[in-house]
Amino acid sequence: MSRKKILWICSWYPNKLEPFNGDFIQRQAHAAALRNDVFVLHLAGDDTGVVKETGEVVTNAPGITEKIIYFKKHASFPAKLLSHYKWLHLSKKAIRKYIIENGKPDIIHVNIPVKAGYLGLWAKKKYDVPYVVTEHWGIYNEVEVYNYESKNSLFKQLTKKVYEGAAVFISVSRYLAEGVNRLVMQKKYTVVPNVVDTNIFYYQEKQSATFRFLHVSNMVQLKNAEGILRAFKIFIKENSNAELVMVGDTTHTIREYAASLGFPKGTVSFRGEVSYQHVATEMQLADCFILFSNIENSPCVIGEALCCGLPVIASNVGGIPELVDETNSLLVEPGNENILANAMREIMSHHSSYNRKKIAEKAQKFFSYPVISKQLDEIYTAVLSTK
C-alpha cells in the first residue's frame, strides 16, 4: 500500500513551554513518518503569562508536519472551563483546516485518551475516519498518587468512550494495557514499545578504568534517587574504584541530600538536565545503568541504556521486566537498598560476562525507528483493510 495520511492528535508533545513533554510520543511520530505522511497536532495552553495571544508554529521534515498551537489560559476554575472550550474550538478549527488542505486522513492516531481522545471521537463521527489510540500515561496502578482511581467521573467516562471507539488500542507495555483492562474496560491491545534513536544511542567501547554507575531521571519521588544514593553509600565502603553519575536533576534538593551522606570526594557527581545527545554520551561512558523506581511503565532510559550496551540494574516493577532479561540485567526488589547494593557488587564483579556489543545489537532490533515504523504501519494497514 502507498503512503497513508495519518493525523496524529497528541495530548502531550514537546513545545517551547515544555521541551521534554511527551518527547517519546514525538519519536514514535517520526518513526511512523518513515512509511506514512504524518501530520501532528498539539495544543499548548499557558497560564504563566509567556503566551500573550493565540499563535502557531509549524515544523516540516520528510514525511512529517508538526503543528503546535499556543493559546493563553487562566488558572481559576471559571477560567479553566473557558480555556477548555477555547482548546476545543482551536482543535476542531485546526482539524478542519487540515482536511481542507490535505483531504480526510486515512486514520487518526490519538496519543493519550484525555484530552486528545475527545477529538478522535468527534472526527470519527463527523468525518467517518477511524482512530487508533496509544496510551503512555502510567496511571493505571495503585502506586502512582494521582492514579486513575483518583480521577473524577467525567475523566473516567471520557477515557472509557475513547477506548470503546478506537479501532485499535496500542500500549507501550503489557503492564499498562493490563491496567487499562482491569480499571477501565476489557479491550484487546497491541504493544508497540518506545523508540530509541539508535543513531545517537549505540555501543561505543569505554576507555576509562574507573567503574561507573549511571542513573538518569528527573529524580521525582517515584524514581527513588535517594535510595540509589543510600545503596551506593553501602556499596562504596568496600569498592573504592567506582563512581556514580546522576543525570537529570532540576533542583538543588537531591545534591544537598547526597552531600549530607558524606561520600568520598569524586565518587558521586551530578550533571543536571541535559540534552538527549548528552544523555547518550553519558551512557557510552558508563558501565552499568541503575533505575530504582517504585513504579514504572516502559521507561525510555532502559531502552536507551541497552542500545548503548549497558547492563541494567532495575526495580522489578511495572513494565520493566518486559524490556530486559538475564543476559542484560539484574532485577531487584523496589525499595530494598541492601539488595541494590548487592546487585552493584555482582554487576561490577561479573561485568566481563555481559557482552555489551551483543546487548546493543539485540536492543536495536527492538527499539529502533525502522522497527517501530514497521509495527505502526502494520497496524494502520490492518485498520484500513477492515474499514
Do 25 and 99 reside in the same domain of the chain?
yes
Write out the three cell numbers for 17.
Answer: 513551554
Query: What pLDDT shows up at residue 196?
Result: 98
Q: Tell me, yes or no, whether 231 lies in a domain.
A: yes
* Domain total in the chain: 2
Residue ending a domain, among 161, 192, 223, is 192
Do 215 and 81 reside in the same domain of the chain?
no
Which of 21-30, 69-78, 141-150: highest mean pLDDT?
Answer: 21-30
4-20 per-position pLDDT tens digit: 999 999 999 999 999 99
Strands 211-216 and 288-291: parallel
- Helices (H), ranges, the chain: 23-32, 77-102, 118-127, 153-165, 174-183, 225-236, 253-260, 276-284, 300-307, 337-349, 356-367, 369-385
CB burial string 339-362: b at 16+ within 10 A, e below: bbbbbbeebbeeeeebebeebbeb
Do 124 and 246 reside in the same domain of the chain?
no
Residue 325's CB is within 10 A of a number of other CB atoms, namely 10
- What is the band of 52 on the pLDDT scale with cuts at 50, 70, 90? confident
Calculate what percentage of the chain has a pLDDT beyond 90.
91
**Model confidence at 70: pLDDT above 60:** yes
CA distance 111 to 114: 9
DSSP 338-357: HHHHHHHHHHHHTGGGS-HH
The CATH number of whichever domain residue 218 belongs to comes to 3.40.50.2000
Q: Tell me, yes or no, whether 170 lies in a domain.
A: yes
Mean pLDDT of 198-213: 92
Q: Tell me, yes or no, whether 150 lies in a domain.
A: yes
pTM of the model: 0.94
Do 148 and 269 reside in the same domain of the chain?
no
- What is the band of 160 on the pLDDT scale with cuts at 50, 70, 90? very high
In single-letter form, the type of residue at position 372 comes to: I
- Average pLDDT of the chain to the nearest whole number: 95
Q: Tell me, yes or no, whether 384 lies in a domain.
A: no
Cis peptide preceding 233, ω within 30 of 0: no
CA angle 93, 160, 300 (to 5 degrees): 80
Can you give the C-alpha Rg of the chain in angstroms?
22
Query: What pLDDT shows up at residue 207?
Result: 78
Query: What pLDDT shows up at residue 1?
Result: 55
Q: Tell me, yes or no, whether 19 lies in a domain.
A: yes
Do 165 and 266 reside in the same domain of the chain?
no
Do 26 and 76 reside in the same domain of the chain?
yes
34-48 per-position pLDDT tens digit: 999 999 999 999 988
Do 249 and 103 reside in the same domain of the chain?
no
Query: Domain span at residue 174?
Result: 5-192
Binning the chain into helix, strand and coil, the percentages to the nearest 5 are: 45, 20, 35
Do 66 and 157 reside in the same domain of the chain?
yes
CA distance 236 to 338: 12
Do 25 and 160 reside in the same domain of the chain?
yes
Do 72 and 99 reside in the same domain of the chain?
yes
118-127 helix and 153-165 helix, angle to the nearest 10 degrees: 40
Do 319 and 173 reside in the same domain of the chain?
no
- 66-70-74-78 Cα dihedral, nearest 10 degrees: -70
What 3-state DSSP class applies to 384?
helix
Calculate what percentage of the chain has a pLDDT beyond 70.
99
301-340 per-position pLDDT tens digit: 999 999 999 999 999 999 999 999 999 999 999 999 999 9
